[in-house]
Amino acid sequence: MKVGAIVFATFLITPLISTVAFADDKDEAPQLRERINCFPAKSIVKFVSKFQGLDVDKRDTVDMIFAAEFEVKDGGALPDRIFMRNNGVEDSFTLEPDGNVPDFIKIGSASEEVELCSDDPSRAGTPRGEGINFSINNDVHFLENTGYHDMASLKEGLKDGKSHYKKMVPGPMRMMVPKLTYVMIEYDAEDRVPQYSAMKGQEVVAGLTHETFCKTAMIKVEDIEELGGDGLKVRGGSYNLRPVPKPKTLAKFAGCSEDEDGETPKE
């Protein structure tokens, strides 16, 4: 599963490609793109900066990861660039050949007056809302993905992960953020069979099982301790580990993508 396939919050940045940001009357003729299209990014700056303001000890095991990308729908080219503009000063992001924008996180340090812009000459003069999407996904990941996670870091990640998720919702709703008790293994490669084991020192402890949500393995951290283990070993290729609530609770906040089945989570 790719990063962001399951998320508690997703920003779909439609103004670059949608008429909604430019016209309230649906009966109006579609507006056409210019070569450079910009929109105010104050809400994005405020959201991203929330997590940069968390105490260091809340970000040393897990952190909020932002993944931004263009998805070409019309078979055309990517924009020439994506950048911020503030009072005439421009700061470009890195735009990779696959459409990913790996350094989008830096928008969290920008002024709230900044605009987010795309330079897309191949679509100048075409209707907004067609041809290309730009999306931003955010989720909490463990910073270490070396294959071994001791119990201390797993427990700290569950605790600190909740602090990150609380930042995603308005103050009065923060009491609704559930307790995080599982870790989810997201492999970079699609359809990878999960490979893991509880460990006691250098010895494998038999008996650890997983539950599945959206074709992705979830392991209850408490089960590792109950088996007498003191860590989790993950094998099978590069991966990310995420702190999450139990499957039934996760299903209330997140959905599966179209190519994933919707298993009924266990109690």
The torsion angles phi and psi of 223, rounded to 5 degrees, stand at -65, -35
29 within a domain of the structure (yes/no): yes
Domain count within the chain: 2
260 within a domain of the structure (yes/no): no
Domain that holds residue 165: 144-253
Per-residue pLDDT of the chain (267 residues), as tens digits, is 443 334 444 333 333 333 323 233 445 667 899 999 999 999 999 989 988 878 889 999 999 888 899 999 999 999 999 999 999 999 999 999 999 999 999 999 999 999 999 999 999 999 887 889 999 888 899 999 999 999 999 999 999 999 998 887 777 777 778 899 999 999 999 889 999 999 999 999 999 999 999 999 999 999 999 999 999 999 999 999 999 999 999 888 777 765 555 454 544
215 within a domain of the structure (yes/no): yes
49 within a domain of the structure (yes/no): yes
CB 253 within 8 A of CB 234: no
Last residue within a domain, chosen from 139, 158, 190:
139
Q: What is the pTM of this model?
A: 0.76
Three-class SS of residue 142?
Answer: strand
DSSP string of 250-261, one letter each residue = HHHH----TTS-
201 within a domain of the structure (yes/no): yes
Q: Name the CA dihedral angle for 146, 147, 152, 154, rounded to a multiple of 10 degrees.
A: 100
259 within a domain of the structure (yes/no): no
Residues 13, 119 within the same domain: yes
The torsion angles phi and psi of 47, rounded to 5 degrees, stand at -70, -50
Residues 109, 165 within the same domain: no
Q: Name the CA dihedral angle for 233, 239, 242, 247, rounded to a multiple of 10 degrees.
A: -80
Q: Name the CA dihedral angle for 185, 189, 195, 196, rounded to a multiple of 10 degrees.
A: -30
Minimal CA–CA distance to 213: which of 167, 253, 171, 173?
A: 253
Could you tell me the CA-to-CA distances from 188 to 62, 134, 198, 216 in Å, in that order?
18, 21, 22, 12
